[in-house]
Chains A and B, each alone.
Chain A
Amino acid sequence: QVQLVQSGIEVKRPGASVKISCLGSGYVFTNYVIHWMRQARGQSLEWVGSVNCNTGATRYSYHFQGRVTMTTDTSASTAYMELSSLTFEDTAVYYCARDPSAKFDYWGQGTLVTVSS
């Protein structure tokens, strides 16, 4: 069955970077785009960006002002999101999701990133 499994909880200092992974299984990894979203506690979801797992092409939300980098390792069926220059406002649960076309049909379980001094 299709699964997206994300890496574990992260605690970072302000100014640091965090890199989260998303391992896809049960489907052909390179046939899809992976999107990343985040959700602060008690808030709605925010789209961060996407990576085409076949071509590596990326598209980022301008809200992240060049702080985000999305990559893939097709040999490991894994997508990555790295966010730099962390601030307290980056504390959130980060999700990856698969996009077959205009929908996010499978989601990872979420990765809590806490930015704390």
Chain B
Amino acid sequence: DVQLTQSPSFLSASVGDKVTITCRASQDINSYLAWYRQRPGKAPELLIHVASTLQSGVPSRFSGSRSGTEFTLAISGLQPEDFATYYCQQFNTYPFTFGPGTKVDI
């Protein structure tokens, strides 16, 4: 299985901050990576797909990038609703796998 690792596991920030989260794949997954935000008690929400494409309707403060097997999610100008857990997911190889998550807290 493709292993995804995320760093940091936990991030403390304030409203208005810029934060970055990294996801590393254990092998080449091309650009088949998506990012999701999950608020407590809710289903995940798609933010970014194919590494850097912003999903329709998602605010432009979210952005994604890729360098080899390292992927980054950046959030510029944290809003109260962004205090949540973020997951990366790869679509390159079955079984699809998710990262362990990064919790962004106040």
Interface 0/1 of B61-105, CB less than 8 Å to A: 000000000000000000000000001010100111111110000
Contact call B87/A44, Cβ cutoff below 8 A:
yes
Residue B7, interface by CB 8 Å: no
Q: Which of chain B's residues have a CB closer than 8 A to the CB of A59? A: 94
Distance in Å from the Cβ of B92 to the closest Cβ of chain A? 9
Interface size band for B: 20 to 34
Partner of B34, one of A63, A103, A108: A103
**A103-B49, A109-B43 are known contacts. Are A45 and B98 too (CB-CB below 8 A)?**
yes
Is A105 interfacial (CB-CB < 8 Å)? yes
- CB atoms of B43 and A107 under 8 A apart: yes
Flag if A104 contacts B98 (CB, 8 Å): no
Which residue of chain A is the closest to B33 with respect to CB atoms? A102
Q: How far is the CA of A101 from the CA of B88 in the complex (A)?
A: 16
Q: Enumerate chain B residues within 8 angstroms of A104, measured Cβ to Cβ.
A: 34, 36, 44, 46, 89
Residues of A within 8 A of B44 (CB): 45, 95, 104, 107
Size bracket of the A interface: 10 to 19
A46 close to chain B: CB less than 8 A: yes
Does B32 make an interface contact (CB < 8 A)?
A: yes
Seed contacts A47-B96, A102-B32, A108-B43; 10 additional CB < 8 Å A-B pairs: A44-B99, A45-B89, A47-B97, A95-B43, A95-B44, A102-B49, A102-B91, A103-B91, A105-B55, A110-B43
The 7 A-B pairs with the shortest beta carbon distances in the complex, nearest first, are A103-B49, A107-B43, A61-B95, A47-B96, A45-B98, A102-B91, A44-B100
